[in-house]
Amino acid sequence: MTTFIIRRLLQLIPVLLGVTVLVFSLMHLTPGNPAVIMAGESAPEATVRAIEARLGLNDPLHIQYFNFLSNALQLDFGVSIRDNIPVFDHIRPRFFITMELAIYGTIFAVVFGLLVGIVSAARQYSFSDVALMVVALFGLSMPNFWLGLMLIQWFAIELRWFAPTGWGDPNQIALPVIALGTAGAAIIARMTRSSMLDVLSQDYIRTARAKGVKERIVIFRHALKNALIPVVTVIGLQFGYFLGGSILTESVFAINGLGRLIIDSILQRDFPVVQGAILVISVSFVIVNLVVDISYRFLNKRVDLN
């Protein structure tokens, strides 16, 4: 296990370097001069040149990249063009809000996805199986921003059960989590059903049933654990998607998370903030995938990690 973790950590190095290259290229491929934006369109040429020198924009690209990489390792992503505040000070509070939203969305998706998938697999081709899979199909097809607007209309405006916007209070959390996690729950449900059906057709399951083992024990003790390997992969991917895909959900519910920060920064052409936020999300996604890989061994001892 230790050897596998060390090897996977070493394999992350080129992946993270590739991420930094893509994020660094973002600012240079985007039209517009950050120095001009900071100084203003009518600023004297000398002022623009002074800002370019201060930001190191006159250096060769490879020097700029190594400076960016060195600073990023120290969590220094530069300063915001908009207000001259360090980018990390913008990202830090917003990141924890987005992380909370992603965690709650993942919990919602896992609980409902596993429950629906297990029930569908245990009652294959029954009315409940077909009905649940149809519901899952609708959940997978609905854009989360449209679902968010419908939830606000139904449960916040008409019924007044929940707050329509914001984050923090219990009555503000439910609607964003449902809007974000519904599609993930549908994907997990379909994957769980498929994986469970594969396992339930195995010989050892038939043997357990022939011995008179209760169906509940067959499903949850013998089948579910072996069916979770592909499901865990989907859960990890969904969590990474929730981190990056919360942009629309945060915009609909006016949540001051990292996704909304990216949108606002793009509209204001605040490239350093966009760079830093995307880099943080990308690194978080890579780390989540590492945790998923390691979790395979705990779910199934027969998985070879060497």
Q: What's residue 304's pLDDT?
A: 55
Contact between 99 and 243 (Cβ < 8 Å): yes
Handedness of CA 65, 67, 70, 71 (dihedral sign): negative
d(CA 273, CA 46): 25
The beta-carbon contacts of 277-282 under 8 Å, at least 24 apart in sequence, are 277/91, 277/94, 278/23, 278/26, 279/19, 279/20, 279/23, 279/72, 279/77, 280/91, 280/95, 281/243, 281/244, 282/19, 282/23
Across the chain, which has 306 residues, the per-10-residue mean pLDDT values are 76 84 77 70 78 76 84 84 85 90 92 92 88 89 88 90 86 91 92 90 85 84 81 84 82 87 81 85 83 70 55
d(CA 186, CA 135): 8
Dihedral of the alpha carbons of 33, 34, 37, 39, in degrees to the nearest 10: -110
d(CA 80, CA 135): 44
CB burial of residue 17 (10 Å; 0-12, 13-18, 19+): exposed
Contact between 226 and 277 (Cβ < 8 Å): no
The domains found in the chain, sorted by start residue, are: 2-87 (no CATH), 93-299 (1.10.3720.10)
Q: What's residue 251's pLDDT?
A: 86
CB burial of residue 61 (10 Å; 0-12, 13-18, 19+): exposed
Residue type, 25: S
Q: What's residue 35's pLDDT?
A: 72
Handedness of CA 115, 121, 122, 124 (dihedral sign): positive
Select from 265, 283, 281 the least CA-distant residue to 273.
265
Residue type, 220: F
* Conformation bin of residue 287: beta by default, left when phi > 0, alpha when psi is -120 to 50: alpha
Q: What's residue 282's pLDDT?
A: 83
Q: Element (H or E) spanning 131, and its range? A: helix 127-141
pTM: predicted TM-score of the whole model, two decimal places? 0.82
Residue type, 184: G
Q: What's residue 114's pLDDT?
A: 92
